[in-house]
A and B are shown apart, each in its own frame.
Chain A
Amino acid sequence: MPQNPSASTEDANSAAAMRAKLDPQFYSKSQSDRSSKHAAYPLQTVVDLQGLGKKIKAKSILSDVTLQITNRVTGLLGPNGAGKSTLIKILLGLVAATDGTGKLLGLDIRREKLKIRQLVGYTPEDDCYIDGLTGVEMVQMSGQFFGLRGREALRRAHEVLDFCGIKQERYREISGYSTGMRQQVKFASAIVHNPQFLILDEPTTGLDPEERERLLRRVRFLNRQFGIGVMLSTHILPDVQLVCDDVIVLAEGRVRAHQSLASLQDVNRWRLQILEVNSAVALTFSQQLQHSGLRVDDAIDGGWELIVLDDKLWTKDRVVELIWRAAKNANATISCFSAAQESLEAIFLKAIGGTNHAHS
């Protein structure tokens, strides 16, 4: 019996839609996809810190940290000793702040520690595990700490381990796991209770590239599909670029930058490739551009790099218009020009006071 082609297409579409909803592997990692997926979950402030400070024996670890973190994926960047771990411990109530106030999911971080921990999932940076337990037992026990009862905790443990891609290894003792496997189990332990906010401290340490990408996909999936806010503390900048919406840069206990990744990487640089072989025309074109207020540098690839000297005065459209006009006036032929995004590394170094303005 011949099948109705339209019906089968509909079935296929609905199946694909279902899979896209259920399977993180299906989920696109494109930046443009992020905003559309966010539509299901309205933006909410999850963490609200006001003038938070921590001093240990007169040494200031954190000072005047004022932040609002939303339920998007937020990267927490900073050099060693910047205060990232202290900030996380303060949020979890493991360390008491000496100054300021703060709320996490509307709960006071000083007084409602247990309630906060009940709603938050946390994977510590350290290679930590409970000795003597198998993978599934550790996740089950974690579930029991979150209030899941025995058998229900075990059922849920299997569910999240399936989600994290841990198969038969779950029945082996964790002490025999590789670092990467322990990271996966820690992640599973953190999400076993359906947290509203995830704090991941260096979650990709020890993972091979494939596992790393899978973990980051899961993080993004949880954020996009379930609206779970994520705070990702990491040294690995590509991880931040891959998964984060917002970035916080901490240095010397202070917030040096807190913006969306897109706005941080907002253009003030342009990359220009010209076809012009006549050096006189090229020189005229360059002079035209410089006269308009752009600095022209030679790029590594043989083209030019234009730097907008006063980026507050120049909008993207104006720069584009200016380049076209200068090319027309100089009679130059442009093969390609694009906005050159500033690399996260450069942003990071600039924020922490470094001098390296590397860019891609």
Chain B
Amino acid sequence: MPIHDVGYRRWQGTQSGFGSRWIAITNKGFEIAFRSQWVRRMMFLAWLPAVYFGAALFFFERSFENKQLFNAVAELNQAAEAAEKEVGEFVPTDRSRALRQDATMRTLSRTPLLGGLVALLGGTGSREVFDAITSQDEVRLRRVVWSWFILKFITTPQGFALLLLLGWVAPPMIAKDLRTKAFLLYFSRPLSKFSYILGKLMVLVVLCSVITTLPALILYGCGISLSPNLTPLYATWDLPLRIFLVGMIHSIPASLIALMLSSITTESRYAMFGWYAIWTLGFVTWRILSTAFLAQSQGPGRGRPQFDPLAPLSLEDGGGWVFVSLYDSISIAQSYVMGVVEFDVHTQCACFLLLLISLCCFSIIWRQLSRATLG
């Protein structure tokens, strides 16, 4: 028998509003996710590419400062123009442009990290950087390089890290609740299905943001703060908002897909398998198809076709198949938001597809929860 036992007492405190109850799910979801050593390791490793991209931006700004890049390209252009004048009409314009671009890339490769990074941007990105350099417009060049670097950072290393992380964290999130019938505890409380989904979704969105949006914003912030003057800020002032939106475009549909897979099974390993299958199969299928389409459109004897995910083939040439790959669809939409591609038919389709996928996933989760509650 206790000597003193207050037993049960009334609680009469201030309650939070109904609209903020999902925060408890998000907080606890975070706590549970971070208890996994693998998640902590993945989070750490996911930040490493930021060091590489940060260094590249730093060297770009240095070469920018001493005009080394412009001078080198200007000399190159003058030489190329002189050569073209001598040869006259026999060299076609696009061929000379390609040659000049190759020469510029070689020049850039002498700059530490930068050349490799520009080459990493792929066909469309490299061309954009080349155009910006040849135009000798500092503001434009800065904007193009910063936008492309950050976009590449978010889509390539961070996109891959996000895929791995969501594949590890998301599958058990609803599947376990279904298995342990925890939804009865959730929905018998003043918590709506929408709040539940929002709470779970926010765990994933915030985790995604921590490895995509946050390092990208820090990268941008470091770039600005290490700049000798405020010119980069003038040229790239809207990038933080674009970075945020680009991160959301990736994390919201991806998180909803992951949650949807988690909600249709009580075995989280099936959801995990489905998750990786969706991304891998789509990615591989589109690369095989696009290589075949490119080889067909370029004809025989032209060498290995150059694949450029951000310059998809026209719809007539099979470019519509890009949407079998969720990764590439997201990349197209992200490129538009980042301001590096136009709002063309591919971009429209990509945005529509992502919206459709998100809505479908949300409605499937809703239906599964309703069924579970009724059961």
Contacts and interface: CB of A to CB of B under 8 A. Distances in A.
A89 B183 CA distance: 13
Given A148-B15, A152-B13, A92 B188 contact: yes
Given A160-B8, A218-B8, 18 more contacts: A89-B374, A115-B190, A117-B188, A118-B15, A124-B184, A126-B184, A129-B182, A129-B185, A131-B182, A133-B32, A141-B28, A142-B189, A144-B16, A144-B21, A145-B21, A147-B15, A152-B13, A225-B8
Given A145-B191, A147-B190, A152-B13, A130 B8 contact: no
A11 interface: no
Contact of A145 (B5, B183, B186): B186
Given A117-B188, A145-B189, A193 B176 contact: no
Nearest to A193: B11
A162 B188 CA distance: 23
A197 interface: no
Main SS at interface, chain A: helix
Contacts of A133: 28, 32
A123 B306 CA distance: 62
A193 B188 CA distance: 13
A142 B18 contact: no
B192 interface: yes
Contact of A128 (B11, B12, B15, B185): B185
A127 B181 contact: yes
Contacts of A221: 7-8
Interface stretch (A19-27, A32-40, A294-302, A337-345): A19-27
Interface of A: 22-25, 89, 92, 94-95, 114-115, 117-118, 122, 124, 126-133, 137-138, 141-142, 144-150, 152, 156, 159-160, 162-163, 175, 186, 189, 191-194, 218, 221-222, 225-226
Nearest to A159: B9
Interface in B263-298: none
B187 interface: yes
Contact of A226 (B10, B172, B191): B10
Contacts of B230: none
Contacts of B184: 124, 126, 128
B11 A130 contact: no
Contacts of A150: 27
Contacts of B5: 22-23, 162
B190 A117 contact: yes
A174 to B, nearest CB: 9
Nearest to A95: B374
A222 B8 contact: yes
B87 interface: no
13 contacts: A94-B374, A124-B181, A128-B185, A129-B180, A130-B28, A131-B179, A137-B28, A141-B24, A145-B186, A146-B189, A146-B190, A152-B13, A186-B185
Nearest to B6: A22
A221 B10 CA distance: 13
B182 A191 contact: no
B21 A147 contact: yes
B188 A194 contact: no
Interface string B165-197: 000000010001101111111111111100000
